[in-house]
Amino acid sequence: MRIRSACARDMKCIIDLFKKHDFKLDTKHLERLIVYVDKKDKILGILMLNTVLECSFITDEALPKKSRILALKALVAQGKKEVKTLHFDLVHAFSNDKIEKILMKHFKFVEGKGKNLIYFVE
């Protein structure tokens, strides 16, 4: 068993595994594609490292809801411009529960599939 960088001959297997697990293989921001293989070079696991763009939305909860929505409207609009400038088409957004509901209701944010796990590298 060993770890190696993925190569062209691995792509069919990698694509099939991604489809099987309903994951999107985003190669636009792909930094590394690494495979874990057995002695016969069969792929047992895949590590895909993508550059990810994330944003956080914060508003003063003491403000009226209308003011908070107006602030978010301006921030979301500016955020879209910035994201396009950076050539991304997906942003991971972080917020508290109240803002999350506003973002989903008023700005077409959607919940991602699966759990969002974070690993802090020490």
- pLDDT tens by residue, 12-56: 999 999 889 888 787 888 899 999 999 999 999 999 998 989 999
pLDDT tens readout for residues 63-90: 999 999 999 999 999 999 999 999 888 8
User: For residue 122, is pLDDT > 90?
Assistant: no
Is the distance from CB of 24 to CB of 48 less than 8 angstroms? Answer: no
DSSP secondary structure letter of residue 112 = P
Q: Which of 71, 10, 8, 76 is nearest to 44 (CA)?
A: 10
Is the distance from CB of 37 to CB of 6 less than 8 angstroms? Answer: no
User: For residue 116, is pLDDT > 80?
Assistant: no
What are residue 26's phi and psi, to 5 degrees?
-95, 105
The pTM score is 0.71
- The CA-to-CA distance between both ends of the chain, in Å, stands at 26
Is the distance from CB of 29 to CB of 88 less than 8 angstroms? Answer: yes
